[in-house]
Amino acid sequence: MLENLQQQPADKILALMQLYREDTRDQKIDLGVGVYKDASGNTPVMRAVKAAERRLVDQQTTKAYTGLAGDPAFADAMIDLVLGDVVARDRIAAIATPGGTGAIRQALELIRIASPDAKVWLSDPTWPNHPSIIKFLGMQSATYRYFDSETCNVNFDGMLADLENVAAGDVVLLHGCCHNPTGANLTADQWPQMIALLKSKGAVPMVDIAYQGFGDGLDDDAAATRLVAAGFDEVLIAASCSKNFGVYRERTGILMAIARDPEQKALAQANLNFLNRQNYSFPPDHGARVVTTILTDPELRADWEAELEETRLGMLALREQLAGELKRLTNSDRFEFVADHRGMFSRLGVSPEVVEQLRTEHGIYMVGDSRLNIAGLNEQTVPILAAAVAKSI
């Protein structure tokens, strides 16, 4: 049997990580992998996470199964964090999932059950796992223009022109904030225009929000998702806790399905529970319980928000520093966008040859499309990167 298997396409980011590990140069800089790192290059366990885990170790009296949807308190806390009170709770079905990826996978499977012929529209570019899972599930997809490689900002006219072709019932996948891989985001004025277009087309929005708190702050980063949630009868939202709680390996995420009314919500909830049952039965609980503990305890929550804010401001300072250095060294505004982008990533907009040169000559690793992880830098390495980029372009 196993001899019938064929090689699967290699994950480019994981392959890059391997090359980095094998590089023996002391000065090497990893800007590839999508994990937050502090100035010393560590991915710390957040203080509030440690405290919540200690509390769980002391106080948890059972590891018996939770419900199929996970702990209801986790859903309540996450709905509050992501949506605030913009949608009535009795319209929102939700399941805990293994990470944001699990939520995306379950959302796509729900779409496939409900509407097998629906096309899923993806930004060009998007997180590579989006098209990969869609293809694996045998679903149809299309892309809409998103990134303007000249300006390194959103090509909003191109985006609207392409979304004109959305058919009623098609699903349009949007990044709630901190677009991955580009770092370029719609402005506050552009979101309502885009939403109005999708409404006029009868589209179903699906929001992937994996970096809430990494861009402009917890509430600002959720603003677009809330606008979408409030504007449609039906919305799917996949939220990840991996980055903003730093619980990557605990696999903590949630899928919310906003339905037209409480009756449809109940039907959606039953289907989401069914999907969890088919795929892995009960979802992982440890990370979810840690997140719930933090969000519902005022002291832990305040400490988590403070540490997240420090993280966010640290990344913004690195953006400012990098944009400044590049401006000085290239004597141009070409890289001004680095300071305007938000989240962990920016697409630099340099050629694959330059990306290759940065790796071979300078030991600087970034993804081939010139996506760099801002959090992979620190005050000392920003000038090194800027000098290498200025020299290579």
Minimum Å gap between C-beta 215 and ligand PMP is 13
315 near ligand PMP, rule: CB under 6 A: no
208 near ligand PMP, rule: CB under 6 A: yes
Minimum Å gap between C-beta 98 and ligand PMP is 7
Tokens of 32: 């590839």
180 near ligand PMP, rule: CB under 6 A: yes
Helix (H) or strand (E) holding 360: helix 352-362
Give the contact letters, 57-96, x = binds to ligand PMP (CB under 6 A), - = no.
----------------------------------------
**Prior bond to 262 cis, omega within 30?**
no
169 neighbors 136 (Cβ within 8 angstroms): no
Q: State the catalytic residue, choosing from 30, 208, 221, 369.
A: 208
Active site residue 238: no
211 neighbors 221 (Cβ within 8 angstroms): yes
**DSSP code of residue 221:** H
Helix (H) or strand (E) holding 206: strand 204-209
Minimum Å gap between C-beta 372 and ligand PMP is 14
Give the contact letters, 321-350, x = binds to ligand PMP (CB under 6 A), - = no.
------------------------------
Residue nearest to ligand PMP (CB): 99
Active site residue 135: no
Give the contact letters, 159-178, x = binds to ligand PMP (CB under 6 A), - = no.
----------------x---
Tokens of 263: 């009756």
The CA distance from 110 to 116, in Å, is 9
Binding range to ligand PMP, per CB under 6 A, among 97-105, 165-173, 263-271, 311-319? 97-105
The CA distance from 76 to 272, in Å, is 16
Nearest CA-CA partner of 347 in 185, 221, 188, 223: 185
Q: State the catalytic residue, choosing from 51, 94, 118, 210.
A: 210
Q: State the catalytic residue, choosing from 75, 94, 119, 127.
A: 127
Q: State the catalytic residue, choosing from 243, 268, 339, 388.
A: 243
Give the contact letters, 119-148, x = binds to ligand PMP (CB under 6 A), - = no.
--------x---------------------
Give the total of residues touching ligand PMP (CB under 6 A): 13
Count Cβ atoms below 10 Å from residue 137 Cβ, excluding itself.
Answer: 13
**DSSP code of residue 174:** E
The DSSP result for 16-44, as a single string, is: HHHHHHH---TT-EE--S-----TTS--P
34 near ligand PMP, rule: CB under 6 A: yes
Produce one character per residue of 302-322: b if its CB has 16 or more CB atoms within 10 Å, e if not: ebbbebbeebbebbbebbebb
Minimum Å gap between C-beta 13 and ligand PMP is 9
Binding range to ligand PMP, per CB under 6 A, among 99-107, 109-117, 271-279, 358-366? 99-107
Q: Which of 123, 155, 240, 321 binds ligand PMP (CB under 6 A)?
A: 240
Amino acid at 128: P
Produce one character per residue of 80-97: b if its CB has 16 or more CB atoms within 10 Å, e if not: ebbbeebbeeebbbbbbb
Active site residue 243: yes
Active site residue 170: no
**DSSP code of residue 171:** E
Q: Tell me if residue 68 falls in helix, strand or coil.
A: coil
183 near ligand PMP, rule: CB under 6 A: no
346 neighbors 318 (Cβ within 8 angstroms): no
Catalytic residue list: 127, 208, 210, 243
Per CB under 6 A, residues contacting ligand PMP are 34, 99-101, 127, 175, 180, 208, 210, 240, 242, 248, 253
